[in-house]
């Protein structure tokens, strides 16, 4: 049998800065040390034969003449020289043996002691040690457990001579498991503490250690508390593990909408609502609170900070120095007046600008994450071998991670299976006909809903403003039509029988989006085109704000009823009557409900600045209700599918049809519609946009110190060329980002192809190496065989005229 070979890892020490500790994370030194070690030991193994000579003798006795090359037919069998060279490859040895790692760091600490004047022999002079374990099982020559324990004890002795900081730094850089590092740290601390502390110093040291441990525990507790404050962290993991990435996309999208509304709230509260609350207008006559205001938004809520009409058109915080002509107040020198009309206009503009930037950034980042990698092929092995988090120690967390990996593998395999089963030509033609028929039915249903909304809104045009219960009819009809049409679309989608669940969701999203955006367009025409002329002399902005509040509340009520009753009833019918499993979660309808609700918020924020706060409460309630309904009434998709790009699609739909439509609606209201003359900050102006023009005129008369502000307003705000330039710049940035992502995808594809070619090159070189050594072995075997008499050589002529012997 082979004898263990002593070795010494020679890690080069730094000449300069000898008093500083060498970095234990220097990968190049570790790689070179291991490489030299394996080369030296491979030569020794070749000289002594080790176990390879026994295998060769056994193979020769068995009559194995030739060895196969690399190929898919069977196992790979190489010659001894080939196996030795393969064993010398760094990828077969690095990070595979704890004994080699411990030996290397022992030698490093011993060399530092030698530089400081202390002498201690290297590990190779004390005990014989084997090289690191090889990935090839036939060449594995590991050290015994006793030798490894001796090396561990020597390393512990070296660590005890270091300071605490140096010891922690060295242990942190060792490529060992956490359990090994903890064991080495405990063994290296205990003897030093018993040897160096006595009496008062030991007591003080224990107190100091206790204080440090308590402080460290407090820091870990605070860190865990901060992680627990992340919204729905554990709940999202649970949903992703049980229902897959497709259902998880809905809750992630809901979390995104919550972040957008929380981003708007500080801006509106700090610059608009808080200032007006600090300087309230004279109180108006209010009615008593009946509770119906929570549904209608009127009554007691009308003359509050909730709506546009409560805000003043005066300049706030303008102290008077002395009364001027006609009893007007002359501003005091050095005062900072707050122009409420201008603040209202610019706050709304800033809120939409921040929202636009956030949406574009979120969409760009999501697009880059979803489409950067060209395909999902080849990720099965990565998911199996590289997805487990080995730091997980709790049973519940490990179970959750196990469910997540299992669902992920189901999705990957389902996507792979879908690509492997193409349809025939007749099947494709039949599916196209069914798709066309279903689309005609869906578009007809959408047209019928839009006509119904238009007719009913015309009937509601002449309803008095104070008839709040009657005004609830239009939101109820719209919400009922949206819910009924979505169920109709889902029933028609069952006739299509699409192969891809992802395509199913995309088609359902398109149908629901067409319905909801068309209905919102009709409602916008109803509010600004039909209701505003009938409300002249009254505060029509308050009416529009209350209408949008009623739509939001009604949409929430129908969503809760559908989740608590509709999904529950459908589950009972499926389980009891139809003998089926639980129904699946309707991703398309629920996502479009979120987009519809957020569009209502953007449409109404100009007329009701506190609507984002209402939306925050609504989203919080929706999350917990939807989660409870999902866990109780729904099952995981029967056909798992990978939803790696759904978040990108949802952000795109939120940005372009939803946000862009709301921005156009508000721009029309600001530039074209005349404000009410009885309420609001723009009551004396022909349009809301004139607030900026009036402010510029005041600045022109203020003096030359602020003359640049009128110039900036004239050339940057009023001039349309600058707006077109900004739009072109934004589109150019989006285009460049798309091109960069496309370029990155192309580069990744080229790198993948290069990696594949590198693997082929290695196979080719190994085959060549194997054939060369096989020829040498055959020649050596032929030279050792006795020469038997044979026929005399015959000379013959070659084409070049040379004589050859055969």
Q: Is 330 helix (H, G, I), strand (E, B) or coil?
A: strand
Q: Is the pLDDT of residue 770 over 60?
A: yes
Cα Rg of the chain, angstroms: 39
Instruction: Please give the pLDDT value at position 515.
Output: 95
**Burial letters 65-76, b for 16+ CB under 10 A, else e:** eebebeeeeeee
Instruction: Please give the pLDDT value at position 648.
Output: 86
702-720 pLDDT, tens per residue?
767 777 878 887 787 777 7
Distance (Å, whole) CA 567 – CA 585:
9
Write down the pTM of the prediction. Answer: 0.69
68-103 pLDDT, tens per residue?
444 444 445 566 666 666 666 655 544 445 556 666
Distance (Å, whole) CA 147 – CA 153:
10
Q: Are 501 and 244 in contact (CB under 8 A)?
A: no
Instruction: Please give the pLDDT value at position 465.
Output: 75
**Burial letters 583-599, b for 16+ CB under 10 A, else e:** bbbbbbbbbbbbbbbbb
Instruction: Please give the pLDDT value at position 181.
Output: 83
Distance (Å, whole) CA 257 – CA 140:
57
Both structure tokens of 577: 């009557």
Distance (Å, whole) CA 512 – CA 17:
70
Lowest mean pLDDT among 134-143, 158-167, 180-189, 734-743: 134-143
Q: What's the mean pLDDT in 200-226?
A: 77
Q: Is the pLDDT of residue 25 over 90?
A: no
Q: Is the pLDDT of residue 393 over 80?
A: no
Instruction: Please give the pLDDT value at position 615.
Output: 96
Give the DSSP per-residue string, 210-230: HHHHHHHHHHHHHHHHHHHTS
535-592 pLDDT, tens per residue?
888 899 999 999 999 999 999 999 999 988 888 888 888 777 776 778 889 999 999 9
Percent of the chain residues past pLDDT 70, beyond the cut: 72
Q: What's the mean pLDDT in 270-287?
A: 86
Q: What's the mean pLDDT in 223-231?
A: 73
First-to-last CA distance in the chain?
45
């Amino acid at each position: 049998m082979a004898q263990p070979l002593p070795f010494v890892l020679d890690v080069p020490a730094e000449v300069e800065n000898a008093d500083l500790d060498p970095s234990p994370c220097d990968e190049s030194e570790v790689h070179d040390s291991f490489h030299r070690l394996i080369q030296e030991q491979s030569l020794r193994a070749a000289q002594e034969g080790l176990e390879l000579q026994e295998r060769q003798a056994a193979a020769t006795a068995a009559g194995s003449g030739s060895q196969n090359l690399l190929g898919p037919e069977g196992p790979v069998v190489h010659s001894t020289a080939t196996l030795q060279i393969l064993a010398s490859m760094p990828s077969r040895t690095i990070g595979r043996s704890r004994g080699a790692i411990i030996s290397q760091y022992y030698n490093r600490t011993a060399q530092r002691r030698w530089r400081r004047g202390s002498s201690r022999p290297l590990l190779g002079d004390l005990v014989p040690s084997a090289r690191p374990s090889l990935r090839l099982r036939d060449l594995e020559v590991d050290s015994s457990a006793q030798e490894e324990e001796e090396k561990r004890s020597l390393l512990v002795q070296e660590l005890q001579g270091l300071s605490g900081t140096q010891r922690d730094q060295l242990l942190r850089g060792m490529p060992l498991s956490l359990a090994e590092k903890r064991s080495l740290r405990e063994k290296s601390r205990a003897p030093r503490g018993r040897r160096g502390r006595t009496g008062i110093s030991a007591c003080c040291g224990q107190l100091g250690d206790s204080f440090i441990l308590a402080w460290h525990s407090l820091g870990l507790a605070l860190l865990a508390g901060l992680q627990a404050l992340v919204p729905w962290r554990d709940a999202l993991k649970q949903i992703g593990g049980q229902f897959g990435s497709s259902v998880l996309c809905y809750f992630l999208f809901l979390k995104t909408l919550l972040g957008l509304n929380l981003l708007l709230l500080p801006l509106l509260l700090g610059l608009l609502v808080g200032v007006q609350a600090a300087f309230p207008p004279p109180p108006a006559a209010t009615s008593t609170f009946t509770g119906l205001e929570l549904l209608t938004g009127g009554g007691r809520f009308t003359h509050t900070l909730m709506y546009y009409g409560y805000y003043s058109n005066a300049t706030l915080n303008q102290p008077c120095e002395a009364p001027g002509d006609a009893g007007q107040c002359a501003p005091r020198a050095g005062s900072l007046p707050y122009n409420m009309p201008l603040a209202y206009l610019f706050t709304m503009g800033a809120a939409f600008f921040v929202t636009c930037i956030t949406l574009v950034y979120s969409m760009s980042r999501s697009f880059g994450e979803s489409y950067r990698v060209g395909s999902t092929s080849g990720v099965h092995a990565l998911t199996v071998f590289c997805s487990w988090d080995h730091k997980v120690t709790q049973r519940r967390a490990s179970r959750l991670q196990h469910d997540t990996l299992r669902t992920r593998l189901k999705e990957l395999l389902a996507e792979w299976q879908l690509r492997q089963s193409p349809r025939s030509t007749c099947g494709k033609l039949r599916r196209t006909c069914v798709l066309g028929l279903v689309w005609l039915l869906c578009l007809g249903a959408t047209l019928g809903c839009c006509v119904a909304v238009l007719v009913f809104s015309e009937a509601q045009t002449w309803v008095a403003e104070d008839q709040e219960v009657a005004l609830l009819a239009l939101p109820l009809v719209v919400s009922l039509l949206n819910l009924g049409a979505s169920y109709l679309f889902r029933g028609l989608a069952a006739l299509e029988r699409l192969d891809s669940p992802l395509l199913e969701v995309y088609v359902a999203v398109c149908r629901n989006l067409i319905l909801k955006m068309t209905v919102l367009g009709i409602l916008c025409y109803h509010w600004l085109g039909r209701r505003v002329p009938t409300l002249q002399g009254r505060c029509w902005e308050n009416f529009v704000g209350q209408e949008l509040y009623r739509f939001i509340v009604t949409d929430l009520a129908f969503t809760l009823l559908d989740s608590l009753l509709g999904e529950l009833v459908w589950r009972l019918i499926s389980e009891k009557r139809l003998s089926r499993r639980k129904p699946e979660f309707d991703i398309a309808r629920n996502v479009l409900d979120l987009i519809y609700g957020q569009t209502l918020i953007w449409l109404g924020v100009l007329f009701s600045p506190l609507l984002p706060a209402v939306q925050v409460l609504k989203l919080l309630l929706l999350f917990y209700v939807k989660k409870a309904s999902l866990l109780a009434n729904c099952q995981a998709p029967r056909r798992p599918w990978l939803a790696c790009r759904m978040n990108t699609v949802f952000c795109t739909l939120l940005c372009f049809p939803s946000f862009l439509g709301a921005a156009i609606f508000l721009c029309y209201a600001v530039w074209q519609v005349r404000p009410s003359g009885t309420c609001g900050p723009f009551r004396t102006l022909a349009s809301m946009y004139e607030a900026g023009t009036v402010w510029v005129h005041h600045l022109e008369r203020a003096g030359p110190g602020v003359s640049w502000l009128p110039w900036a307003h004239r050339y940057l705000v009023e001039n349309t060329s600058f707006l077109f330039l900004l739009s072109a710049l934004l589109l150019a940035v989006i285009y460049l980002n798309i091109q960069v992502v496309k370029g990155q995808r192309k580069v990744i594809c080229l790198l993948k192809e290069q990696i594949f070619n590198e693997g082929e090159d290695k196979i080719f070189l190994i085959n060549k190496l194997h054939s060369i050594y096989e020829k040498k072995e055959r020649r050596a075997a032929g030279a050792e065989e006795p020469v038997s008499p044979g026929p005399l050589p015959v000379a013959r002529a070659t084409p070049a005229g040379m004589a050859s012997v055969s």
